[in-house]
Structure 1
Amino acid sequence: MACTKFLLLLFVWLLDQQLGSCSTDPHDVYALRSLSGEWKNGPSSWRHSDDPCGDNWDGVNCSNSRITELKLFNMGIKGTLSNAIGDLTELQRIDFSNNRYLNGQLPPSIGNLKKLKDLILIGCKFSGTIPDELGNLTQLQTLSLNANHFTGRIPASLGRLADLVWLDLANNQLTGSIPTSATEGSGLDQLVRARHFHLNKNQLSGPIPQSLFSSSMNVIHILLDSNNLSGVIPESIGLLQKLEVLRLDRNSLTGPVPPSINNLTGLKVLNLANNKLRGMIPNMTGMHALYNLDLSNNSFDPSEAPSWFSYVLRNLTTLAIEAGELHGEVPETLFSFPNLQEVKLSGNSFSGALNMGTNISKQLKVVNFQNNLLTSVMVSSNYNDRLILVGNPVCSNMHINQTEYCRVPGQDVAFKLSDNVTCSNPYEAKSIFRSPYFSYLNDSIYTPQLRERISNKLGVAQREFSINNYSFDSDEYLQVHMNFCPSGSSSRCFTSKEILMKLDLNSKIDKLPDVFGPFYFMMFDYQCQERGSKTLIIGLVISFSVASLAVVCIASYAIRKKKQAERAINKSNPFASWGSNGEDVGAAPNQQSVRFFSFNELRKCTKNFSNSQVIGTGGYGKVYKGFLPDGQIVAIKRLQKDSLQGGLEFKTEIESLSRVHHKNLIQLCGFCYEKEERILVYEYISNGTLSENLSASKSKLLDWKRRIQIALDSATGLAYLHEHANPPLIHRDIKSTNILLDDNWNAKVADFGLSKFVKDVETGNASSFVKGTWGYLDPEYFRTNQLTAKSDVFSFGVVMLELVTARSPMKAGGHIVGAVEKAVNRYDREFYGLEHVMDKVLVEEGNLIGFKQFVDLALVCTQMSAEERPAMSEVATEIGMIMKNLD
C-alpha cells in the first residue's frame, strides 16, 4: 500500500512538471482530447501526458507548437469523428485509414481545415453523405474516401478543389449522376489538375456527361466500372491525351464506341466489357500502347476477326473479347505478339482450323476458345501451356477428346508464392490493384518488380517483407497479400510508432511500377500486444533515494514481472500441458499463429456463457455469440465436458483453419485451452446455415440467382481447399449445415473437425475409419475406406440438389440423388421434369437460366465412381459460367 501511494504522489508531481512546460498549443490539446473522448480506444501514448508535440504522441506531428499531421491508420480506433477535428486548423494531413470501427458521419467542421493537403480515410465505416464543406479545402491534393459506406450524391462542391491530384470515392454506395459545372455550377470537370478519377464500385446512374472531359485535363486513370451508368460513351473522351487507364466495364452503356477513342494513343488499359454497346467492334488501329484490352459481353455486330488482331497491338499482354459475335477463321499471327500472355475469345463462332503457328509468344500462358465452332487444331511444340477448347466440335475427335484441351478448366483462385520471409508477429497488408496492365501474373516478370519497388520506395528492406499470395477477384482486381516483419528479432512486435512511421503504405500510392496501375492498401488488424516498460518509474524511485521503499517496490515489481513472464510463457505455448489429463488426442495441435484467448476473456464477452447468447448446439457443445472488447462479433464454440469427439475435433479445427485463408472459408479467430476448457472462436456469420435458409419458412429469401451464387462461393472455397491450400485439405463433412451465409448471402464453408490433409491420406497416415454424415457420404468411400477429394465432390453434389429441391438428402427412406434421377425428363424445357420434387419457390419464380446445366452438373458430381466425378475446380468453373449467364 505504501508503495502504491508513493508512486501515485510521484506521478502527480511529474504531471505538474509537464503541464508547466507544455510545448503544444492549448487549443490543439483540447481538440485532441475531445476527439479521443469519442473513442473507446486509441494510441496508448495519448494517455500518458498532455503535451502531444513535446512528448511525441504516436501519430502526431507538429510545427511551431501546432499539430500539422494526424497519422493514425490501423490503430483499432472505435467510435466516431467529432466536430472537434475542425479546431485543428493547422492540420495538413489526416490519415485514419483501416480503422474499421471508426464510423458515423464525416463532420462538416472538417471544412474548416483550410491548410489540409491530404485526407485519407480508406477502409473505415463512415456513412451518410459526403459533406459539401469539403469543397472549402482549396489546398487539398489527395482525397481518399474509398471503401466506406458513404451514400447520397457526389458533392458538386468538390469541383472547387483546384489543386486536387488524387480523387478516390470508390467502393461506397454513392448514387445519382456525376456532377459537372454545366448543370450544377460546379463539378468534377473543373478538376483539371487531377490525375486520378476513381469512382468505381458505387451506384452512380445516368449518362457520363459530355462536359466531364476536356483537353486541359491531366487525368491518367479513370475508373467508373461497376456502377449503373447508362447512355453512350461521350465523344469528349478522346480529348484526354494523357489517359493511360480507362475502365467503363460493368455498367449499362449503349450505342457505338465513339471513333475518338483512337485519339487515346497513350492508353495502356481499356476495359469496356459487360455493357450493352452496339455497332461494330471498335477499331484499335493506332493504339500501339495498349497492354490490356477487354471488349467482352457486349452486343456488337457480327464480324470476322478485325484486321488489327494481326499487326497493330505489339505491346498487348491480354486480349479478351468473349461473346463478341466474332466468326470465321482465327488469324495465325494473333499469337505472335511478343508480350502476349492471355487470349480470351470464348463464346464466339470461330470455325475451321485453329492454327497457332510456330512464332508463338514465349509469354503466352492461356488461350481460351471455349464454346466456339472450331473443327481442328494445330499447336506447335513451342506451346505447352493452357489451351481450352471445351464446347468445340474438335472435342468430338477421339484423339483430342481425352486431352487437357477438352476438359473443363479449373478456376484460378489464390496462388501461393515462394517467399520465405517469416516472423512471429507479422504486419499483414493487402494491396488491391484495380487495373493492372495484365490479367495473368507472371511471377518471373512482375513479382521481382513489385518487391524491388516496395523495398526502394517504401524504405523496407527486402528481407523484412514477403509477398505471400495473389488472386484476381471477380472485378478483375489483383489482390496481393504481403507480410512485413520488424527489423531485428523475428519474434518481437512492431511498436505503434514503428507502424506509423515505417508502414505508411497509402502515402506511397503513386510509387509502384506503372504496370500495376492504380491501387491502394488495406491492412489487417495487428494482434501483437506491446508490453509497457516500467524502467523509467524504477529509475525515478531510485533517484529519490528512498532506499527502503525502493527495495520493497522493486521486489513487488520483480514478483509481478515473474508472474507476467509465467503468463507470457503459457500464452506463447498454450499447449504446454497437452496430454496431461489423459483426454487429449495425439500430439499437441500444430497451429500457425492463431490468437490465444484466456477463459476469462471469453467468459466476459459471452455474459458468463449465458443461455441468452446461445446461437447453436451440436455434438461438440454449444455455440455462443460474443462481443470482443474491440467490437468484433464472434461465434464461440465451447466443448462439453462429456463430449467424446471434441478433443480430436478441437485439434483438427486448429490445425486446418490456421493454415487456410480464403473468403469462402470460415475464419478461425482464435482458441482457448486452459482450465480443462477447449473453446474455438470463429468469425460471426449472421444469416445462419444454408440448411436453415432452405427451410419452408425461409427459402423464399433464396431466389435462383442467389442459390447459384451460394453454390459458386462454396465450390470456390472447396477448390481452394483441394488445390491451393498449403497443404491441401479434404473437408470430409460437406453438408448444408456446414455452409454459412453472411449479411450479403455470401457463402462460407465451415466445420473442419473431420478434415484430413491430402498428403496424410495419400501416404496412408490418415485413419481408415469412414467419417461423414449419412446422406452426404460418398458411397465408394463408404465401401472401400479410400478417401479422396472426390468424396467432397459427391457431398457437394448432394448440396447442389438440396439447393434445387430444398429437401434433406434422406426423405422417407429414399435418397435425394435417386429421386432427382428418376424424375428427370430431358424433353421438359422448363423444369427438366423436376417440377414435383423441386422447391416451390423456384417453380413460382420460373425462367431459371442454367437450370438444366446445374442439375446435370450435380448428377455428375454424385456419380457412384469417383473417376466419373469432376474435380472441384471444374465444378466451380461450370457454376461460374451459369452465374455469368444470369448477370
Structure 2
Amino acid sequence: MEQVFKVFLLLLLCQSLLVSAQSSYEDFVSLQSLTESWQNKPPSWVGSDPCGSGWEGIRCTNLRVTSIILASMNLVGKLSSDIQLLSELDTLDLSYNKGLTGTIPKEIGNLRKLKTLILVGCSFFGSIPDSIGSLQQLNFLALNSNQFNGNIPPTIGNLSNINWLDLSDNHLEGAIPISGQGVLGLEKLLKAKHFHMGNNRLSGGIPAQLFHSDMSLVHVLFDSNQLSGGMPSTIGVVNSLEAVRFDRNQLSGSVPSNISNLRNLSDLLARNRICLEAEASTERYCQESQSNSIYSTLPNNCSPPPCSSGQISRNESKKSSHIGIIVGVVVAVVVFLAVALLAGIYVVRQKKRAKGSAELNPFANWKLNKNNGMAPQLKGARWFSLEELKKYTNNFSEDNTVGSGGYGKVYRAVLPTGELVAIKRAAEESMQGAVEFKTEIELLSRVHHKNLVGLAGFCFENGEQMLVYEYIPNGTLMDSLSGKSGIRMDWMRRLKVALGAARGLAYLHELANPPIIHRDIKSSNILLDEHLNAKVADFGLSKLLVDSERGHITTQVKGTMGYLDPEYYMTQQLTEKSDVYSFGVLMLELVTARRPIEKGKYIVREVQNVMDTTKELFNLHSIIDPFINKVTPRGLDKFVELAMRCVKEYAAERPSMAEVVKEIENIMELAGLNPASESDPTTEEIDMDANGGKLRRPYAHDEGFSYSGAFPSTKVEPQ
C-alpha cells in the first residue's frame, strides 16, 4: 500500500510539473504574440523560457510571468489585446517609451490579478477604456503624461483597492465622476490617498461628495483644468489631507471657514496648496477682522482683494466714530505692550536655546569663515524634521528603499508638494562629522547646474544625518555598466554620459564661486536621469578652492582607491587636476565596464599594457566591454587617448576639465551625435551586429533597478 501511495505522489508531482511547464510555454507564446510588432525589444529575450533564461524586465513566480517592467527601453509599437493572455500578471510598467502609441485595448480588463499599471510618459491616446474598472486588485494606476482624451471613465469608482490614481497631463475632459445612475464615483475609493488629475480639460464644479470623513486622501491635485464654482465646505472634514491644489482653474467664492479644522492648516495654506480667485469672498472678508485665522496664513499672491469703500458702512455716527477711535487707541496700546513683553521673553529663550544647541548643531548659526567666505543662503533647500521624513517614507519602510551601500540607504518619498525626492540616510558607522556634513550642504546649496544633483533639503536631528535630493530615476552609472539597472549602455549613450559628467565638473572648477574640487568622482557618484543625462552627486568630500589656495590645497588624503590621483596621494597636494585624474579613470571604466581595481588588476595599468596606437582600436579589443566591442565604436580611439592624458602621473601634464569637455564634444560629433542635444540619442544602428542580428547584453539583470524604475514620479518629464 505504501508503494502505491508513493507512485501516486510521483505521478501527481509529474503532472504538476507538466502543467507548470505548459503554462510557462503558454506565457512565452503570449509574450511573443504581444511584442510581435514591437521594435527594440530587449536583446536578452532569446530562447523559449522567459522565466529561466534571464529575460530583461521579466519576473516570474512558480514559472508564470507575473511582472513586466520595461521602463525607458525605447520601445516602439502598440499595446495589443494579447496582453490579456498573461493571466498571472500583477505588474505592468511600460513607462517612458515614447514610441508606444495607440489606444489601450479593452481586453486589459481581463487581467484580474493586476495590481500595478504604469504607462507614464508614452504616446497612448484615445479614451481610457471602461474595462479598467474590472481590475479589482489594482492599487497603483499611473497613466499620466500621455494623450488620452474623453471623460474619466466612471468605472474607476469600482477600483476599491486603489491607493494611487494619476491621470494628469492628458487631454481628459468632462466632469469629475461622482456616483449616480448605477455607477460608482471617485468618492467611493475609500483607500485612495492620491488623486493626480492636473493639466487636463476637466470642467464643471468640484463635487462636495469628493471629500468626506471616510476618505483617506493625502494629495488631491486638480490644478490647470477648467473647473468652475467654489471650493466645497466638505474639504474640512478630511483630516488626512496634506496637499490640495485647484489653482489655475476658473474658481470663485470664498475659502470655506471649516478648512481651519484641518490639522495641517498652516502647512496647507502657507505653501500655496489652496489658492482661489477670491472675488466673491471680498464682502465676507471685509466684514471680518483683518486678522482672520484663515486669511492671515494665505500666501501673498492668494490674499483676498482689498475692501472697497462701497462695502464699508457709511451710517456710523460721529459719536460712534469717536468712541471707536478711543477704544482703538486703548486696544493698540495694550496690544503693543503685550507684544513687546512676549517678544522679550521669546528673544531670551531663543538665545538660551541657541547657546545650548550651537555645540551640537552645526546649522544653529551660519558663521563667517575666512576660508569659506560668507555662508550660503539655502535657496530652494529646507531643513526637514525627523518626524517629517519618517512620515514621507512610511517610517523608512523597506518598500520605499531604492538604493543602499556602505553609506546607508536611499529612500523614495513624495513631499506634500507632490515632488518626488530621494532621501539619503547615513548609517551609524558611515556618518560624517558635523563639519563634513555641513560642508556638503553648503556646497550643494551654492551650486546649480543641470549636470549636478539638486538639493531639496536636509535633516540633522537625534543623531541622524539625511540629505534630501531631487529624485533621479535611473540610478547610478555603475549599476548601468554592470547590467544591474537593465539599461542598455551602448557607445552613444556612454559618450553622452561622459559629456554630462565632464560639464558638471567643469562648472565646479571654472564657474562656481569659489571653485570646488569634488574629490570623489566615480561611477557610483554619477546618476542618470530619465533621458540618461549624467548628474554628479555626493559632495561629502568636496573642498572649496579660495584664492589663497589657488593651485593646491594641503589636506588629508581622501577619496576612493582606484580613482585616487597618485600625485595627490604622495604629496597631499589637492588641485582640480586630481578630479581630472579620477575622471580619466571613469572614462576607462566607460570603455571597459570594469571596476578600477578588480582581482588585483588596476584598470589604468591594464590599458597601458595592451595599448598600441599603431593598431586598429589601439589593440584594445581584449579589454573593451563586449557590449560595445561587437561593432566599431566611432571615436573610441580618441576617447581612450583623452582618458590616458587625464591619468598622466603628473598633474601639470593633464588637461583641464574645460578642455576635456571640448574634446568629448568633438568626439561626439565624429560619432554622429549632436553635443547640444538633451534627448536620449538614437542607438538603433549600434544595437545590431555585423550580420544584422540583435546583440545580447552580457550581464545579468535579475536584481532590476537599484535606484529607480519601480517608483514613478507623479510627474517626471523631460526638462
Q: Which has the higher contact order (CA 8 A, sep 6+)?
A: 2
Which structure has greater helix proportion?
2
